Structure 1
Amino acid sequence: MFADAHNDTLTTAFLKGENLFKNSCQFDFERAKSIGLKLQYMAIWQDTRQTGIDFLKNAFYFLDRIKEYKINNVALSKRIEDGMINILLSIEDISFINDTYDIEVLKQKGVKSATLSWNHENKLCGGAYSDKGLTSIGQEVLKKLIEENFIIDLAHASKKTFFDVVKHLNKPFIVSHSNCFSLCPHLRNLTDEQIKIVRDFNGIIGINFYSPFVKDKGKANLNDVLRHIAYIAELIGTQYISFGSDFDGADKFPEGLRDVEDLPNIKVELGKLGFSEKEIENICYLNLVRFTEKFLK
């Protein structure tokens, strides 16, 4: 079985005029079911740098569309169902909200997780390509997200934002699609210090398959992805690792990790590297499930 902490298929497919059951994207429910994927975090991403757009209204549109499908939204059901594809909906860059009450509305509509930023600076905080931290408005929004039992996702946070946010947290958090800075020095990746903080909070790191986050020079391959998994396992243990594929949110992926049907390739290669069956099951599925269930009570 498999679980994935991040893809962008929801917005990508609908904006292309396609559906989620079967499409030309990197992920659909039919292919996910064929490989035994049981839990998928699905993001609603919008470029909040644009003007004249009602981003909240757009988010409601995507949230209404997802209800057309026979899947289990774990935020609404409060459980992960056997025999179904379970989804967890996230807002990637929640800075478009006008009032903290909007967070309550998003929760009612089935959203369970959020990042405060994308890559750029906004009214809440600095994104990955910024050196800014959490603003006073950002603190208010973060406080409300915590009160509403949202999963805080720091995948796109600047270093300063990361360290500012964890000062306010008293529960686990996720970095849904980032890798190791020590192996690939990209601003979207995590330093060893940050990785250890994830461990200290009993959080989760979703390994990103996007090639520039995997390898800084040359073409990345499946073994390069495995290096990030092995590095984190050596540094803090296997229990904090999941996948954060970034399918349909990027354009360069390693050979052997082109779409959701390739997830079993990782499972096979982890076995060759000497990971135990239990460790492989945890990385591929159970770690993210256990983490998610903490927020469904």
Structure 2
Amino acid sequence: MFNNQLQSERANLTSLANTHTNIPKLRAGFVGGQFWSAYTPCDTQNKDAVKRTLEQIDVIQRMCQMYPETFVCVTNSAGIRQAFREGRVASLVGVEGGHSIDSSLGVLRTLHRLGMRYLTLTHSCNTPWADNWLVDTGEDKAESQGLSRFGESVVKEMNRLGVIIDLAHVSVATMKAALRLSTAPVIFSHSSAYSLCQHRRNVPDDVLRLVNQTGSLVMVNFYNDYVSCRQEATLSQVADHLDHIKKVAGAGAVGFGGDFDGVSRLPVGLEDVSKYPDLVAELLRRRWTEAEVRGALANNLLRVFEAVEQVSDHTQSPEEEPIPADQLQASCRTMYGYSEAPSLHRQPGALLASLTTVLLGLGLL
């Protein structure tokens, strides 16, 4: 909207209008933590997805710097709890779409170093290593039958790093493959219950049972089309999805996914982030216990995040095998590192020699 220019007066988060989220609305909704989506559209795949993802992460970090009294950027579960105590909004980076890593384990690791703590394996497009939800509608063709071998390496590396695996937007085959492979719980960051609204962005009951078995989490999306399968929806219908997931997968498997400012239509009664207390009140009317409500608000996600952190092991050797060259796309891509790539025209040892020269030169300064 503002081309990443946070200092524009129109982008002032204390007075920002015509959005679902601003600072006064966050305060009115008692929001204590937020994954901010570093999202870049599918048409950036094989082009400038990495650059644009880095720019989005930069925006999130600059937002925390510009409004330190409201936001604090954190990268772990302890940081979220500390932000709660300070009364600030714990702000984390979620990268929404596997195309943002450009089929590179090195990029995955670098985004983790920059603060990414969840990665959605696909957006609404296949990556060369994972299938998206449009495969289940027939609009896209299955290419990986869920996860390819490289896709499995991505999941394993996310486990090693401590990055939460997000299965919103993926195909059912990808859901099942990731749930079975991951050694840590996963999340659906913004998906609802397929049994209540037969939209392929939602989670079917057999997958909800796997969610239960793996201690994973479904964070309910408020988008009308995924709540009621119509253009209109209500707060009560969102609560129905929460009830259904609780019934099938357990109270520990339920969260709030919102998708505010990511969708065009929201239910009556949930028009922006200030309305969260009204949803809490509805759940209490439905005889949810205080512990169950606290779980949906924060504790279920914290449990998953802590489990992901416990599984991570940075002393373990990283995944290194690159994706096969024939699985990559786009004619503008160079192929350095693959056997068919043109030679870099350096003799063995030449790179080390050039580095030595630089280091010796620095030593003379």
Pairwise same-fold verdict (TM > 0.5)? yes
Query: Do the aligned partners of residues 218 and 253 (structure 1) sit closer, same or farther apart at CA in structure 2, a change above 3 Å counting?
Result: closer
Counterparts in 2 of 1:51 and 1:284: CA distance versus 1, 3 Å: closer
SS at match of 2:183: coil
SS of corresponding position for 2:93: strand
1:67 partner SS = helix
Q: 2:317 matched to which residue of 1?
A: none
Greater shift after overlay, 150-159 or 60-69?
A: 60-69
Partner of 2:49: 55
What letter matches 1:260 in structure 2?
Answer: V
Q: Which residue of 2 aligns with 1:96?
A: 100
**Closer/same/farther in 2, CA of residues 205 and 19 from structure 1, 3 Å limit:** farther
Change (3 A) 1:139 1:211: same
How far residue 22 of structure 1 moved from its aligned partner, in angstroms, is 4.5
| Matches for 1:61-100 after TM superposition, within 5 Å | 61-68=55-62, 69=64, 70=68, 71-75=71-75, 78-80=78-80, 81=82, 82-83=85-86, 84-98=88-102, 99-100=104-105
Structure 2 partner of 1:18: 11
Q: How many Å apart are 1:77 and its aligned residue?
A: 8.3
1:165 aligns with 2:170: no
Match of 2:123 in 1: 118
Q: Structure 2 counterpart of 1:237, which letter? A: G
CA distance in 2, matches of 1:19, 1:127: 35
282, 287, 294: which one pairs with 1:269? 282
SS at match of 1:244: strand
Structure 2 residue aligned with 1:208: 221
Alpha-carbon distance in 2 for matches of 1:116, 1:10: 27
Q: Give deviations 1:175-233, integer Å, cap 9, x for gaps.
A: 11111111100001111111111111111110110001001246211111111111122
Q: Which has the higher contact order (CA 8 A, sep 6+)?
A: 1
C-alpha RMSD of matched pairs (Å): 2.5
TM-score by length of 1: 0.88
Corresponding residue of 2:22: 28
Question: 1:200 is aligned with what amino acid?
Answer: Q
Residue equivalent to 2:302: 289
CA contact (8 A) 1:129 1:158 kept: yes
SS in 2 for 1:243: strand
Where structure 1 has 5 or more consecutive residues not aligned to the other structure, the ranges are 1-8
C-alpha change, 1:52 and 1:271, in structure 2 (3 Å) is closer
Shift of 1:21: 5.0
Could you tell me which runs of 5 or more consecutive residues in structure 2 were left unpaired when the two chains were aligned. Answer: 137-141, 311-365
Q: Helix, strand or coil: the match of 1:290?
A: helix
Deviation at 1:288, TM superposition (A): 2.0
Q: Is the 8 A contact 2:77 2:306 kept in 1?
A: no
Q: Which moved more, 1:185-194 or 1:268-277?
A: 268-277
For structure 1, which segment, 246-255 or 235-244, has the greater mean C-alpha deviation from structure 2 after superposition?
235-244
* 1:247-284 CA distance string (max 9 Å, x none): 11110111110110011110111121122222222222
In structure 2, relative to structure 1, the CA distance for the partners of 1:209 and 1:56 (3 Å cut) is: same
Secondary structure at 2:101 match in 1: coil
Following TM superposition, by how much is the alpha carbon of 1:10 offset from its aligned partner in structure 2, in angstroms?
Answer: 11
Residue of structure 2 aligned with 1:221, choices 234, 241, 249: 234
Residue 166 (structure 1) shift: 2.1
- The change in CA–CA distance for 1:184 and 1:76 in structure 2 (over 3 A counts) is closer
SS of structure 1 residue aligned to 2:133: coil
Tell me which protein shows more helix as a share of its residues: 2
Q: Which amino acid in structure 2 is aligned with residue 102 of structure 1?
A: V
CA contact (8 A) 2:98 2:119 kept: yes
Question: Which residue matches 1:244?
Answer: 257
Range moving further from structure 2, 273-282 or 261-270: 273-282
Q: Deviations over 1:39-83 (max 9, x none)?
A: 111111111234674221122222222222223323168522222
SS at match of 1:142: helix
Residues of 1 paired with 2:281 and 2:76: CA distance?
34
Deviation at residue 286 of structure 1 after TM alignment: 2.1
Contact 2:77–2:305 under 8 Å retained in 1:
no
Give distance in 1, aligned partners of 2:272 and 2:23. Answer: 12
Matches of 2:256 and 2:45, distance apart in 1? 33
Identity over aligned residues, as a percent? 26
Aligned to 1:127: 132
- After superposition, the Cα gap between the structure-2 partners of 1:30 and 1:295, relative to the gap in structure 1 and judged at 3 Å, is farther
Runs of 4+ in 1 over 6 A off after TM superposition: 9-14
Partners of 1:223 and 1:22 lie apart in 2 by 30
Aligned residues: 288
